[in-house]
Amino acid sequence: MQQLPEFKRVVTGHDGKGQAVVMSAGATPHNFPLKAVPGTIFYEVWNTASSPAPIDNADDPTNQPLQLSPGPLGSVIRVVDISPDSVQNQVSAQEASDLFAEIGEAHAGTGKADSKHKLMHRTETVDYGIVTEGEVWLVLDDGEVHLKRGDIVVQRGTNHAWSNRTEQMARMVFILLDGRYAEELKELLP
C-alpha cells in the first residue's frame, strides 16, 4: 500500500509581548495507526474541550489517548488515512468492535452481519469531512455517495461508514463538533 504525502501542522500563539508567533511547525506529534485495519491512521491535529474555546498558549491538547468524538462542547480536527476495502473487509465482527474500543468509543460501532459496511458507526456529533486524497464512498443506512478530492460532507449524527473501493489509500480531514440530537429525532434512533 502506498504512503500518502506528509503534511505539516502549524500552531500559532503569542509571545510575552502579545506578538503573534509560531509555537510549533512540523508533523503531527500524536498519530494512531489502527491495529485492526492496517494502513488506517488517525493524525490528531488539534482539539478543544469547551466552547468558546480558550485562546491561550497551553500545552498541545492532542497529547492524550485517541478519542473518536470530542468531549462536551468540544471539537476535534484530525486527518485520517483510509485503507482500501480489500483491507477493511478482512476485519471480523469482533475486530470491528475492538476497533471502536481502540478509538475510545466502543458504543459507536453499529456494524452487524447484515450491515452495508462492517465499520458502520454513529456519534452524536456534527462532522465536516473533506476528501483531500483519493476516493471514498459515504455509506448510509439508505444510500451512498461517491466522493472525490475536494468534496465535502456535512455528517449530522447519522449511521455511516467510509468505504474505499479503490486499491489506493484515501485521506480525509475531519472536523468534529460535539452535538445533541433533537428530541423528536432521538425518539426515532435505535
Q: What is the pLDDT of residues 24-71, one digit of tens each?
A: 999 999 999 998 899 999 999 999 999 999 999 999 999 999 999 999
- Write down the pTM of the prediction: 0.94
Q: Is the pLDDT of residue 98 over 90?
A: no
- Separation between Cα atoms, residue 5 and residue 27, nearest integer Å: 11
Chosen CATH of 29-186 out of 3.40.50.300, 2.60.120.10, 2.40.50.140, 3.60.21.10: 2.60.120.10
Cis amide bond preceding 52, omega within 30: yes
Kindly state the cell numbers that stand for 50: 469547551
Confidence band, pLDDT 50/70/90 cuts, at residue 1: low
- Work out the percent of the chain whose per-residue pLDDT is above 70: 99
Q: Where are the domains of the chain?
A: 29-186
- Separation between Cα atoms, residue 114 and residue 100, nearest integer Å: 18
Spatial CB neighbours of 113, under 8 Å, sequence gap ≥ 6? 93
- Separation between Cα atoms, residue 94 and residue 99, nearest integer Å: 9
